Amino acid sequence: MNRKSLRGSLLLLLGAMIWGFAFVVQRVGMESMQPVSFNGIRNLLAGLCLFPVSLLLDRQRAGKSASLPERKRKAPADKKQQAIAGLLCGIFLFLASTLQQMGLVDTSAGKAGFITALYVVLVPVTAFLLFRKNPGRWIWVSVFLAVIGLFLLCVPVGERFSLNKGDLLVLGCAICFTGQILAVDTYASRVDPIRLSRDEFLVSGILGIFASIFCETITLEGILGALPSILYAGIVSGAIGYTLQILGQRDTNPTLASLLMCLESVFSALSGALVLGERMSSREAFGCVIMFSAVILSQLSPLLRRRRTMA
């Protein structure tokens, strides 16, 4: 694994950790606000936080570019492509987060976590069907192990796994997250990553606020009650976490990226145990071990493939 790939994997792992701890924060925030308005406000906050960051980076790049010879200056990203990327990723993010929150009304958090994280399977399957990208046998083995780990972690012993209305909504969420991951993979290397993250959140936030006006009631009391959760979910989980995803995916295979990001389920279980006092069963702990093993195997897959070729 080269330095760029390792750096990308570490950024995605850090993002998964941030998202995992955000589950606890979001649960607390839901005590004061309804889901669509909560998502809308936190996503809008994330986009607004990235505005000054993107302007500062633009100035720095302009200063460096001015000092270089004209032949060495990097061409700016195409504005039309930048706008399309932000709009597409933002729509996918809005649909995914909204479907997930709506689905949680009629299904358990465990089943929702498992179904959502099925993007770890949907990403390589969709990439193979649409773009003929085959990640290799060891990545497929890693995906299989990750699904087993997710099932052990999220579905309690004795609970019958069946699909109801809420489950189908969360399945739609997993499909939309698959689209978001593949859209980021398509555009992350072509456009400015900070602007992409900014535009993605602004689009998702505006759509969320607009939708909540018609289906929910937003009150100042509710916003103030959920303010700590909004700040973490918007600034840390949103602005920082999704920017790490975009930066990490620039140097990481989309299937491997989805494996790393699905570790948010593991970190959410750990944060629940640490912060909320939720105890992990031996089954859940074993699921975490299997998932970590899947990620380690996926990281070692280039070395295993090289050895097989040499043999």
Confidence at residue 67, expressed as pLDDT on a 0 to 100 scale: 56
Q: What is the DSSP letter of 240?
A: I
Q: Which residues contact 234 (CB under 8 A, 6 or more apart)?
A: 41, 42, 43, 44, 45, 46, 49
Query: Rounded CA gap, 180 and 221, in Å?
Result: 33
Radius of gyration for the chain, computed over Cα atoms and rounded to the nearest angstrom: 20
Query: Any residues with CB less than 8 A from the CB of 248 and at least 6 apart, and which?
Result: 7, 8, 9, 10, 11, 12, 15, 257, 260
Residue type, 80: K
> CB under 8 Å to 178, separation ≥6 — which residues?
119, 122, 123, 126
* 233 or 289: which leads in pLDDT: 233
Residue that the structure tokens 């912060």 belong to: 275
Mean pLDDT of the chain: 79
The rounded distance, in Å, linking the Cα atoms of 261 and 194 is 19
Check residue 271 and give its pLDDT. Answer: 74
pLDDT at 74 over 90: no
The single residue listed with the structure tokens 């005590």 is: 31
Quick one: average pLDDT of 204-209? 94
- pTM for the full model? 0.75
Stronger pLDDT, 255 or 243, i.e. the higher one? 243
Does the structure show a pLDDT above 80 at 138?
A: no
**pLDDT exceeds 60 at position 35:** yes
118 HSE (CA, 13 A, CB side): 19
Packing angle of the helix pair 165-187, 254-261 (nearest 10 deg): 130
The answer on pLDDT for 233 being more than 60 is: yes
Predicted local confidence at residue 76, as pLDDT: 53
DSSP string, the chain: --HHHHHHHHHHHHHHHHHHHHHHHHHHHTTTS-HHHHHHHHHHHHHHHHHHHHHHHHHHHHHHHHTS-GGGPPPPPPHHHHHHHHHHHHHHHHHHHHHHHHHTTTS-HHHHHHHHTTHHHHHHHHHHHHH-----HHHHHHHHHHHHHHHHHHS-TT------HHHHHHHHHHHHHHHHHHHHHHHTTTS-HHHHHHHHHHHHHHHHHHHHHHH----HHHHHHTHHHHHIIIIIIIIIHHHHHHHHHTTS-HHHHHHHHTTHHHHHHHHHHHHS-PPPPHHHHHHHHHHHHHHHHHHHHHHHHHHHHH-
Looking up tokens 């995605």 gives 12
d(CA 151, CA 168): 17
| pLDDT at position 130 over 90 | no
Is residue 65's pLDDT more than 60? no
Average pLDDT over residues 204-233: 90
Q: What is the pLDDT of residues 258-307, one digit of tens each?
A: 777 777 767 777 776 676 666 667 887 787 778 777 767 766 666 565 66
Share of the chain above pLDDT 90, in %: 13
Residue 215 has a pLDDT of 85
Dihedral, CA of residue 13, residue 17, residue 20 and residue 25, to nearest 10: -150
The stretch 12-32 carries a mean pLDDT of: 81
pLDDT digits (tens, 9 = 90+) for 150-204: 778 666 677 665 667 877 888 888 899 989 988 988 887 888 888 888 999 999 9
For 190, the token pair is 């072509």
Stretch among 5-14, 52-61, 84-93, 240-249 having the lowest mean pLDDT: 52-61
> Which residue matches tokens 């996503």?
43
